[in-house]
Every structure is written in structure tokens, then in C-alpha cells.
Amino acid sequence: MARPLGFRRVRTHTSAYLRSGAIVLFAIVCVLFWAISTRALPAPRIHPLPALLAQWNHSSGDYFDQVRKTEPEYLIWSRFPVKVYVQPADLRSQTWVNLMTQAVNEWKAYFPLELVDRRDSADIFIDRASIPIRFPPTERVRFADTRFELYQQESVLRHLVTIRIQPNRPDLSLLAAARHELGHALGIWGHSPLETDVMYFSQVRTPPPISARDVNTLKRVYEQPTRLGW
């Protein structure tokens, strides 16, 4: 009787020992992986504010606490103007192009943007997505989303942004979506709790113009350190 029990105890002890060994090993691998992956990215530093944001001063509050950090920390552009390419029109989509262009021009009042006619020279690409967007990473609405990807150029960490906005929606809805997704693309990686802001998390019946709170939030983002552009 005693033998099998003792044997079992030893086995249990051994397997617990192995298990804790495996946990320690796993932890070491995780720490090493973390050290290597963060060492590969430049340390976060603060860039000078773009002139339009530096001049901006408005005391209406912000929702900076809702902005999330990403892998390169804050999504901050540091080469200006930031170049935007809107997918050109086909026979049926001139209105879509006009609305996207209008949204770019609205943000241009607060942030240095330039429309370009070559996709390969653009930082932000606005894509007239024809496929249904099922699980957008940033949105509750199902017809628009924004993604970013990282790349290295002459050992400087940079990002590219793609905005997808489906056509065949009411004009007001397309314009509101373009304003909102551009807000993400410029660096507001989060949502406002107030429906009077462009970055409100949900669609509203009467979409607001870019608010002072939207610009205040963008300015605060640009005052943060980032790994991008270094």
C-alpha cells in the first residue's frame, strides 16, 4: 500500500517540479523575446509639433485619456505634409472621391496634409473598399476601417496607413466616415465619448464637423513620445 502511494507522491512531485521548470523556462523565453523585440524598435522620443498644432490653443477639453498606445507607442507623423492618396474615381464614384477629398481638406485646416496622385508616394491611402468589412479592428460601423503597418526606411521606423471606406452610402455618412477615419490615421487611436466630436465611437444622425476637442486631442497626441520617425 505504502509503495504505490509513495511512488505516486514522487511522480507528482517530479511532474510539479518539471511544470515549474517549464514555467520558469517559458518566462525566460518571454523576457528574452520582449528584450529583443523592444531593442529592435527605437526608444520613444518627442518630435517637434507641426506648426498648425503648435499655434492651436483652445480650452474646451479633450479625450486624450481614450487614446491607446500601439506597438510604436503613439501613431505620430514626423514628415510634413503627410501625403494622402485617394483612390481615383471610376464612372460611378466621383461623388465618393469628392467627399474623401473634402474630408482631407477639412483636416488640412489643423494639420499639414497634401493630396498626391501616386499611391507609392503616399503615407495614407484611402481605399474604396468593394468587399464587405466584417470585423473592423477600430470601428463599430461596418463600412469603414483604418489599419497601419510599420516599415523601416534607412533604419528609421515609419508607418503607412490604409483607410477603407465602402461606396454606396449616403453622402453625409461617407463624409462623416472619412473625417473619423482620418482622425485615426493622423494619430487619434481611440474614440470620444461625446457625439459632438468627429471621433465619437458610433455613427450619429447629424455628423458634427471637426471639433475643438478633436484638435485638442490630436495636439496632445503629438506632444507624446513615439518610436516612429527615429
Q: How far apart are the first and last CA of the chain?
A: 69
Stretch that binds Zn ion, among 5-13, 62-70, 87-95, 138-146 (CB under 5 A): 138-146
Least distance from C-beta 161 to Zn ion, angstroms?
Answer: 13
The size of the chain, in residues, is 230
Number of residues this chain uses to bind Zn ion (CB under 5 A) = 2
Query: Which range binds Zn ion by CB under 5 A, 7-15, 18-26, 65-73, 136-144?
Result: 136-144
Instruction: Based on the shown chain and the rule CB under 5 A, indicate whether residue 192 belongs to the binding site for Zn ion.
Output: no
Q: Edge-to-edge, what's the strand order for the sheet holding 82-86?
A: 113-115, 82-86, 124-127, 156-165, 144-153
Number of neighbouring beta carbons within 10 Å of residue 60: 10
Q: How many other CB atoms are found less than 10 A from the CB of residue 56?
A: 17
Cβ proximity to Zn ion: between 139 and 214 the closer is: 139
Query: Which residue, 44 or 70, is less far from Zn ion as judged by CB?
Result: 70
Minimum CB distance to Zn ion, residue 107 (Å)? 15
With 0-12 / 13-18 / 19 or more C-beta atoms within 10 angstroms meaning exposed / middle / buried, residue 86 is: buried
Beta strands in the chain (DSSP E): 45-46, 82-86, 113-115, 124-127, 144-153, 156-165, 225-226
Give least dist CB 204 to Zn ion, A: 13
- Measured between alpha carbons, how far is 47 from 161 in angstroms, rounded to an integer? 19
Smallest gap from residue 121 Cβ to Zn ion (A): 26
Residue number, 114 or 162, with CB nearest to Zn ion: 162
Q: Shortest distance, CB of residue 179 to Zn ion, whole angstroms?
A: 11
Q: Cβ closer to Zn ion: 113 or 198?
A: 198
Interaction between residue 138 and Zn ion (CB under 5 A):
yes
Residue 118 is classified by DSSP as -
- Could you tell me the smallest distance in angstroms from the CB atom of residue 189 to Zn ion? 9
Helix axis angle, 171-186 relative to 212-222, nearest 10°? 20
Helix (H, G, I), strand (E, B) or coil at 159: strand
CB-nearer residue toward Zn ion: 41 or 129: 129
Q: Tell me if 217 contacts Zn ion by CB under 5 A.
A: no
Between 146 and 157, name the residue whose CB sits nearer to Zn ion.
146
For Zn ion, the binding residues (CB under 5 A) are 138-139
